[in-house]
Amino acid sequence: MRPELIEKINALAKKQKDVGLTEEEKKIQKQLRDEYLREFRKSFRARLENLHIEREE
């Protein structure tokens, strides 16, 4: 994950709590969250695909 992406998401979330967001900022927030989820899913899928389970039978 890119740290700057998380920082931007957190900054907008804080602003939303404090004073609210404009419509443009809401669109940006949604885009950033969507990008974060895409990166998270990609990373998680890669971890699962590289996982090897050994069973003693």
Q: Is the model's pLDDT at 5 over the cut of 80? A: yes
According to the model, what pLDDT value does residue 55 have? 86
Q: Is the model's pLDDT at 1 over the cut of 80? A: no
Sequence spans of domains, the chain: 3-38
According to the model, what pLDDT value does residue 17 have? 97
Burial 7-46 (b: 16+ CB within 10 A, else e): ebbeebeeeeeeeebeeeeeeebeebeeebeeeeeeeeee
Tens of pLDDT, residue by residue over 15-57, are: 999 999 999 999 999 999 999 999 999 999 999 999 988 887 7
According to the model, what pLDDT value does residue 23 have? 97
| pTM of the entire predicted model | 0.80
